[in-house]
């Protein structure tokens, strides 16, 4: 698998020198994700080149660049590791503690009054603690990114990243929780035991099919919202992207058959949400018979990959297998979303050449578009669970705030996250009022 790496390359000053270095990268069929200047002297410039590499291509590319004679690969930049040093999050006091009086108010003896008040009326915890604004981000490390089962501790940088995004984009406090177990019942009971600390639970990077039972049980047994982001966060963003694309090419989503290639947590989450949204039908392909059974219980239909490409008006792929979709299978007018990163099931330009009306890869379709606003909205609504209507509201808010010609909005646009949260909150409050 390819991982984005940052190469440091020294290139002599002369017309066309950098262009020839980049040509070597192109000849190696590698994609440049970023290029920036680190340092410039009288005779050369040191560049940071962000590129997706594996160990074999890295060694080959280094040799080919060095062979040019006027350029040298100095090594790998440690910029990413520098950003992670010491971790990406910390817990800070919201109150400046600069006097003995403040100490007495927030700790001893004053805090006892608040404790007793909450004991008498537990609902007061919503006003006088951080519970209402805090989300647990919980993993056991069995399905981290596309890396697989790398363990809970190795997954901590992802959980910290989620927490940082929660806070920066919507002001929610995210707390990473690592569970060193693969036992379903132990995971469920551990989460139930710590649930009073939090206003909501985000399950993250827990492998299928275990993730389905864990989420279902927790939704039934807890009175706070629980959401497995790999299923539902992904599904919301995919639905939003499909809505945006459908509007661009004037395609009727609800009158479409959707083909879902890959029926893991993300694929089944997408399938479930699209069926609930009211598409004409969903066909799915996966090598795992258990996944097909799960799909058909939802109301979808299992088919072979060529059959799927023949029947589907909209194709969504989440397999992680580069080049899985053969160009000859693409039908005129299809909408194709090959969402695996870093390597798509079919390159969008190739799909368009073969007649697709719309094609996109997964570089811009990311959960960060959805989960901050989803949880902010649910917390503000005082919701006890996420409903499909709340997920639909989030997807439609994303699509409605997507600029013309784009698939989804800028993920760092805080105004969009605010609008998502408001839409989710409005639906959540209505549901709670009717409950």
Kindly list the catalytic residues.
107, 162
d(CA 364, CA 53): 20
Q: 209: cis peptide before it, omega within 30°?
A: yes
The answer to whether 315 and 262 have CB atoms below 8 angstroms apart is: no
* Pick from 375, 255, 368, 260: nearest CA to 308: 260
Rounded to 5 degrees, φ, ψ at 171 are 80, 5
d(CA 368, CA 31): 23
Burial status of residue 356 (CB atoms within 10 A of its CB: 0-12, 13-18, 19 or more):
buried
d(CA 242, CA 250): 11
Query: In which region does residue 233 sit, left (phi positive, over 0), alpha (psi from -120 to 50) or beta (all else)?
Result: alpha
Radius of gyration of the chain (CA): 24
d(CA 228, CA 385): 12
d(CA 78, CA 5): 9
d(CA 383, CA 380): 8
């Amino acid at each position: 698998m390819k991982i984005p790496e940052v190469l440091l390359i020294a290139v002599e000053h002369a017309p066309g020198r950098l262009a020839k270095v980049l040509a070597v990268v192109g000849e190696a069929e590698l994609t440049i994700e970023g290029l920036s200047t680190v340092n410039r002297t009288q005779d050369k410039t040191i560049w940071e080149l962000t590129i997706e590499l594996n160990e074999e291509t890295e060694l080959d590319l280094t040799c080919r660049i060095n062979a040019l004679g006027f350029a040298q690969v100095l090594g790998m930049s440690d910029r990413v590791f520098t950003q992670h040093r010491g971790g990406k999050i910390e817990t800070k006091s919201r109150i400046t503690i600069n006097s003995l009086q403040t100490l007495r108010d927030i700790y001893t003896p004053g805090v006892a009054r608040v404790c007793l008040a909450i004991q008498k009326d537990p609902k007061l915890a919503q006003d006088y603690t951080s519970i209402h604004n805090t989300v647990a981000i919980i993993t056991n490390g069995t399905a981290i990114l596309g890396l697989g089962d790398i363990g809970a501790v190795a997954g901590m940088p992802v959980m910290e990243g989620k927490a940082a995004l929660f806070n920066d984009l919507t002001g929610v406090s995210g707390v990473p929780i690592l569970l060193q177990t693969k036992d379903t019942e132990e995971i469920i009971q551990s989460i139930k035991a710590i649930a009073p600390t939090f206003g909501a639970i985000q399950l993250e990077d827990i492998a299928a099919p275990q993730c389905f039972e864990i989420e279902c049980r927790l939704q039934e047994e807890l009175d706070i919202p629980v959401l497995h982001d790999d299923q539902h966060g992904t599904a919301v963003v995919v639905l939003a992207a499909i809505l945006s694309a459908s509007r661009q090419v004037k395609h009727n989503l609800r009158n479409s058959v959707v083909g879902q290639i890959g029926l893991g947590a993300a694929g089944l989450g997408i399938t479930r949400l699209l069926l609930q949204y009211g598409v004409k039908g969903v066909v799915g392909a996966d090598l795992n018979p258990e996944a097909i059974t799960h799909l058909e219980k939802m109301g979808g239909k299992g088919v072979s990959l060529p059959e799927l490409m023949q029947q589907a008006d909209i194709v969504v792929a989440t397999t992680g297998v580069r080049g899985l979709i053969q160009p000859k299978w693409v039908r005129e007018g299809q909408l194709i979303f090959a969402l695996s990163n870093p390597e798509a099931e079919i390159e969008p330009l190739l799909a368009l050449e073969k007649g697709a009306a719309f094609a996109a890869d997964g570089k811009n379709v990311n959960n960060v578009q959805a989960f901050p606003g989803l949880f902010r909205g649910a917390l503000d609504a005082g919701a006890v669970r996420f409903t499909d209507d709340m997920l639909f509201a989030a997807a439609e808010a994303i699509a409605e705030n997507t600029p013309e010609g784009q698939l989804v909005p800028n993920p760092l646009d805080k105004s969009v996250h605010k609008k998502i949260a408001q839409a989710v909150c409005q639906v959540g409050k209505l549901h709670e009022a009717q409950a």
